[in-house]
Every structure is written in C-alpha cells, then in structure tokens.
Structure 1
C-alpha cells in the first residue's frame, strides 16, 4: 500500500529552510495538511505567506506553523496537539528533519558540543516520535521518515559528534522499523550526502576557518523530491547521490581501504 499525500496530515520539523522547507511546499502542493516546526518564526511566516501559491486548493488553510525549539518538551507536545486537532487524532506522516552539526577535532571540543548535537539530532526526534505513535497508529499507511546522512553509515574525521548522532538515528530507525512492522507503521530512513542548504551557516562551536570536503552535493529540493518518493513507496531506506552511495558501499566492501583514504595526515 502506497502512502498518498492528498488529505493526509503531516508533521515536518526543521521547516524554516533547506530540505524541510522544500518538503513542506511539496506536501502542500500535493494536498496534505502540514504542521511545520522551526525556531525562526519569520521563516515560518514567510512559508505560510507563500502557501497560497502552492498550486493547490486551500493550501494556506492547510499550513499549521509551530514556532519553537524541538528539544523543548512543551514544543513537542504542542506539535502533537496541533497535529491531533486536524483530522480526529490521526497522523499519516512524521518527518524528523531538524538537525545541527559542527566541524573540528573531537579533542579540541567542549563536552557541550556533543550534548547539544545529540539533543537536536537524536533525543528530540526520538521523543517526538514517542509522542506521535498513538496518532500514527490511527493514520492511513503511516510513515515515520527520519532524515539521516551518509555519515550515519560511514564516519569521517572532524565530524565525530555529528556522525555519532546520525549513527544513533540509523540504529534507532532500524530497530523501530522491526518493532512497528506489525502495526503497519513504516519507518523510512533517508541518507543524503552534502546538501546545498543553510546547514553550514548554523554550525555550533566551530572555528571560522574550518572547512568540510565532500562530493556529490544535491540541492535541497532534489533531496526533498527523493524523500517524497521514498515516503510514497514506503521504502525502508534510500541513500542519495552517487558520491554518498560510493562512500557507503566502498566502506561495506573494504573498510580498511576507506580508513586509509580518510585518515588525516
């Protein structure tokens, strides 16, 4: 059974920019009602103002912004409250997209960097998922979509905290998928490579001189399109970009070779 966006109810976190923003627009154009969460109120209002140009009837009336940090339990509760009020306590899609990162050697970092990244990238989406399960069980072909990263499959230097958070999300998604299989709730893991978005403008505890080398970057809307396709097909996992696939499959075939390539001189 495929997931259909028309008349569905969806939650998207990290909706103010990048992949989350593009996903919201695609969902609205397809006839979904979208509960969009982000910290930046002005960005959500811009998205709301543009919703009536989404090439779908009543798109503006189907957009429900929730402003706040997803790591705040009261914000998570408000997201669920709003979603539950749209269609008799039913939820069809939860997209855990909000995320942050950092660059730099682990040995030079303060412990707070790891804790902040884990709070945003792992603990917050896990707890939001916990709250959403009752609504999802009542949904139509429900899907939990976790935006992960190819760095949740293969870690690289100077991104230890970010990699750890994405490995945690990868493991959580695999386990939850097996647990929820009898309920009909699908867990979809989407792993982009570097995405052309504002992600690198909001790195935390990172020196200005730090740079990130990567290949295979995609525009945010291309990732959003691939994500929508994976959700519709209720796929278990999708890895985006040839560069991302090359890194993941090379590591599966010969970890020692990839270790040697990535080793810092």
Structure 2
C-alpha cells in the first residue's frame, strides 16, 4: 500500500534549511500537514510567515532541540492535541558533523554527534511509535549518508553515528513490519546545503572530498518518492552508489585507497556529507 501525502500528518526534524526545508515544502504542497522542527526559532518562524506555497498553511513550526526530552514531549503533545494522536510519517533529518583526525578531537565531539545524529532520532521515534501505529501506511524515514555504508578518514565520529542509524533502521524495519510500519533509509552523498554550518569542530588542514554534490531539493525529491513507495532503502548519486558498490566487491582495495589519501589544506567547504 503506497503512502499518500494528502491529509496525512508528518513530523520533519531539521526543517529550517537544506533537505528538511525542501522536504517540508514538498509534503505541504502535496496536502500533508507537517509539524516542522528546528533549533533556530527565527529561521523557522520567518519561513512560515513568508512562504508562498499554497500548502504551507498546513505547517506547524516548533522551535527546539530534539536532543531535549521536553522538546520531544512537546512534539508528541502537539500530535495528540491537534491530530488525535495519529502520525503517518516521521522524518528524522536533523544532523551535525565534524571534520578532523580522531586523535586531535575533543571528547565532546563524539558525544555531541552521536546525541544529535543517533540518540535523538531513536528516542523521538520511541516516543512517537504509538502515534505511528495509528497512522495510515505509516513510514519512518531516516536521512542517513553513504558514510553509513563506508567510513572514510577524518570523519570517524560522523561515520559512527550514521553506521548506528543504518543498523538501527534495519533492525527496526524487521521489528515493525508486523505493525505495518515501514522504515525507509535514505543515504545521500554530498549535498549543497548549510550542513557545514553545523560542524561542531573542523580541522583547517583537512578538506572535504565530495562525491558530486546534489542540491537539497534533488535529495528531497528522491526522499519523497522513496516515502510514497515505502521503499526500504535508497542510495543517492552515482558517486555514492559507486562508493558503496566498490566497498562491497573490493573492501581491501578500498582500504588501501583511503589509507593513501593525502591531507590537503583548504578553506572549509560549502557542502557536506549527509
């Protein structure tokens, strides 16, 4: 049974920019009521007031940090109060990253990245599962990364968080199948967005090696299609698919290639690996 946006209720995290913003717009424009979550109150409320989309009247903005228990409770209360406790779609999109050698990073970097990229979506999903069980062809869409399939140097904590999200998604998909809830994992490579504004630490002596950056809108389009078709997983971009395939057929060769990557100094790039 396909998922339909019209008259559905969705929660999207990280909704004030990038993939989250584009996907929120697309859902609303297709008749879905979206509860849009973002840390930056000014951005999300300004966007809410100025959006020309005809469907944007169906968006409820909530400003807050999803790592906070009280924010997750507010999301649940909003669903119960305004939508009878029913939820059809949860998009776990919010994420942060960090670039640099693990040996030179602060201890806080690993904890913060894991908190935002894995623990927060897991706990938000946990608290919203009763609402999803009431939904129509419900879907949990986790926005991951090709780096959740193949890790690369200088992004060890970020890769760890996306590997955790990937493994959890696969396990949860099997657990929730009897309840009719699909778990869709979307794995972009590099996205032209504000992701690098969310880097909690950067190493100025390292540069990002992109895999052919996609626009946030293009990623959102693919994610929307995957949600509607209730797919289990999609890997986006030729570069991303090549990376994953090469690692599966020749992992030893991939290890050698990555071990020999030179570190080149560069200014912080303008796009980031989701």
Same fold (TM over 0.5): yes
**1:131-187: CA deviation from partner (whole Å, max 9, x where unpaired):** 010000000000000000000000000000000000000000000000000000000
1-structure distance, mates of 2:54, 2:237: 28
SS in 2 for 1:11: strand
- Alignment counterpart, residue 109 of structure 1, candidates 100, 105, 111: 105
Q: Secondary structure at 1:121's aligned position in 2?
A: helix
Question: What is the TM-score normalised by the length of structure 1?
Answer: 0.96
Q: 1:142, 1:186 within 8 Å by CA — same for their partners in 2?
A: yes
Q: Which residue in the other structure is 1:136 paired with?
A: 132
Instruction: Verify: 1:220 aligned to 2:216, yes or no.
Output: yes
CA RMSD of aligned residues (A): 1.0
TM-superposed CA distance for 1:93, in Å, is 0.2
1:10/1:83 contact within 8 Å kept: no
> Is the aligned partner of 1:54 residue 2:53?
yes
Distance (Å, rounded) in 1 between the aligned partners of 2:23 and 2:178: 28
Q: Which residue in 1 is equivalent to 2:119?
A: 123
User: Do structure 1's residue 10 and structure 2's residue 6 form an aligned pair?
Assistant: no
| TM-score for both structures, normalised by structure 2 | 0.93
Mapping 1:162-173, distance limit 5 Å: 162-173=158-169
Match of 2:27 in 1: 27
Contact kept, 8 Å, 1:193 with 1:241, in 2: the verdict is: yes
Task: State the SS of the aligned residue for 2:83.
Answer: coil
8 Å CA contact 1:11, 1:83 repeated in 2: no
In 1, the alpha carbon distance for the partners of 2:168 and 2:177 equals 14
Ranges in structure 1 where 5+ consecutive residues have no aligned partner: none
Question: Which residue of the partner structure matches residue 254 of structure 2?
Answer: 258
Deviations for 1:106-154, whole angstroms, at most 9, x for unmatched residues? 0101110000000000000000000010000000000000000000000
1:78 aligns to 2:74 (yes or no): yes
State how far apart, in whole Å, the 2-side matches of 1:85 and 1:3 are. Answer: 23
Q: Secondary structure at the match of 1:218?
A: coil
In 1, the alpha carbon distance for the partners of 2:191 and 2:238 equals 13
Distance 2:81 2:120 in 1: 22
Structure 2 unaligned blocks of 5 or more: 263-274
Cα separation, 1, equivalents of 2:113 and 2:41: 22
Q: Assess, with a 3 A threshold, how the Cα gap between structure 1 residues 253 and 75 changes in structure 2: closer, same or farther.
A: same
Corresponding residue of 2:225: 229
- Distance in structure 2 (CA, Å) of the matches to 1:137 and 1:102: 35
Whether the 8 Å CA contact 1:84–1:91 is kept in 2: the answer is: no
* Partner secondary structure for residue 101 of structure 1: coil
Instruction: Show the counterpart of 1:240.
Output: 236
Query: How far apart, CA to CA, are the structure 2 residues paired with 1:116 and 1:190?
Result: 22
Shifted more, 111-120 versus 212-221: the winner is: 212-221
Shift of residue 209 of structure 1? 4.4
1:194–1:215 CA contact under 8 A, matched in 2: yes
Give the stretch that moved more between structures: 214-223 or 188-197.
214-223
Given candidates 200, 225, 229, the residue that maps to 1:204 is 200
Residue 95 of structure 1 aligns to a residue whose secondary structure is strand
